[in-house]
Structure 1
Amino acid sequence: MKTGLYIHAAGPGLDALVGRVRTAAEAGLDSAFFSQLTSWDALTVVALSAQQVPGIELGTAIVQTYPRHPLALAGQALTAQAASGNRLTLGVGPSHQQIIEGQFGLSYDRPARHIREYLSALRPLLRGEHVEYRGETLAVTGQVDAPGTEAPSVLVSALGPVMLRVAGELADGTVTVWTGPEAIADHIEPTITRAASQAGRPAPRIVATAMVSVTADPDAVREQVAGQLGFASQFSSYQTMLDRQGLSGVHETVIAGDEAVVARAIRRYAGAGTTELLVSPVGTDAEQARTLDLVASLRDEA
Structure 2
Amino acid sequence: MRIGIMIGEVRGPATADDLRAQAAAADGLAAVWSAQALGWDALTALVLAAGQTPTAELGTAVVPVRQRHPLTLAGQALSAQAATGNRLTLGIGAGIGAMLTGMYGLAADRPVAYLREYLSVLRPLLRGEQVEHHGEMITAVGTAAIPGTEPPPVLLAALGERMLRLAGEAADGTVTWMAGRRTLETHVVPLITAAAASPPRIVAGLPVTVTADVDDARERIARYYGMAARVPEYRATLDREGVAGPGDVALAGDESAVARQLGLLAEAGVTDFAAAPFGTVAEQARTVRLLRAVGAPGVPDNRV
Query: Per the shorter chain, which TM-score range?
Result: over 0.9
Tell me, yes or no, if structure 1 residue 284 matches structure 2 residue 286.
Answer: no
Aligned partners of 2:76, 2:169: CA distance in 1, in Å? 24
Deviations 1:185-228 (A, max 9, x none): 1111110011113xxxx211000011111111112112212222
Per the alignment, residue 2 of structure 1 pairs with 2
Per the alignment, residue 253 of structure 1 pairs with 249
Tell me, yes or no, if structure 1 residue 185 matches structure 2 residue 181.
Answer: no
Per the alignment, residue 226 of structure 1 pairs with 222
Q: CA 1:161 to 1:298, structure 2 compared with 1: closer, same or farther past 3 Å?
A: same
Aligned partners of 2:41, 2:14: CA distance in 1, in Å? 13
Aligned partners of 1:288, 1:24: CA distance in 2, in Å? 12
The correspondence for 1:294, drawn from 287, 290, 295, is 290
Per the alignment, residue 273 of structure 1 pairs with 269
Tell me, yes or no, if structure 1 residue 212 matches structure 2 residue 208.
Answer: yes
TM-score, normalising length from structure 2? 0.94
CA contact (8 A) 1:63 1:93 kept: yes
Letter in 1 for 2:268: A
CA contact (8 A) 1:62 1:157 kept: yes
Aligned partners of 2:285, 2:228: CA distance in 1, in Å? 26
The correspondence for 1:24, drawn from 23, 26, 40, is 26
Aligned partners of 1:53, 1:30: CA distance in 2, in Å? 10
CA contact (8 A) 2:172 2:201 kept: yes
Cα shift at 1:257: 1.2
16-25 or 68-77: bigger deviation: 16-25
Cα shift at 1:96: 0.9
The correspondence for 1:11, drawn from 5, 10, 13, is 13
CA contact (8 A) 1:51 1:83 kept: no
Cα shift at 1:135: 2.2
CA RMSD of aligned residues (A): 1.2
Aligned partners of 1:214, 1:44: CA distance in 2, in Å? 29
CA contact (8 A) 1:11 1:39 kept: no
Deviations 1:107-142 (A, max 9, x none): 112111111111110000000011112222211111
Residues 150-189 of structure 1: pairs in structure 2 closer than 5 A:
150-189=150-189
CA contact (8 A) 1:4 1:29 kept: yes
Letter in 2 for 1:235: V
Deviations 1:135-182 (A, max 9, x none): 222111111120010000111110111000111111100000111222
Per the alignment, residue 124 of structure 1 pairs with 124
CA contact (8 A) 2:127 2:145 kept: no
Tell me, yes or no, if structure 1 residue 76 matches structure 2 residue 72.
Answer: no
Cα shift at 1:263: 1.0
Aligned partners of 1:95, 1:138: CA distance in 2, in Å? 17
Deviations 1:27-70 (A, max 9, x none): x2111001111101111121222245411111111111000000
How many residue pairs get matched? 296
Aligned partners of 1:48, 1:211: CA distance in 2, in Å? 22
CA contact (8 A) 1:21 1:32 kept: yes
Partner SS, residue 99 of structure 1 = helix
Aligned partners of 1:12, 1:80: CA distance in 2, in Å? 20
Aligned partners of 1:4, 1:297: CA distance in 2, in Å? 12
Aligned partners of 1:20, 1:8: CA distance in 2, in Å? 8
Aligned partners of 1:220, 1:105: CA distance in 2, in Å? 38
TM-score, normalising length from structure 1? 0.95
Aligned partners of 1:125, 1:168: CA distance in 2, in Å? 20
Aligned partners of 1:47, 1:258: CA distance in 2, in Å? 33
CA contact (8 A) 2:23 2:52 kept: no
Partner SS, residue 129 of structure 1 = coil
Aligned partners of 2:79, 2:6: CA distance in 1, in Å? 22
Letter in 1 for 2:289: D
91-100 or 281-290: bigger deviation: 281-290
Runs of 4+ in 1 over 3 A off after TM superposition: none
Per the alignment, residue 103 of structure 1 pairs with 103
CA contact (8 A) 2:25 2:288 kept: no
Identity %: 48
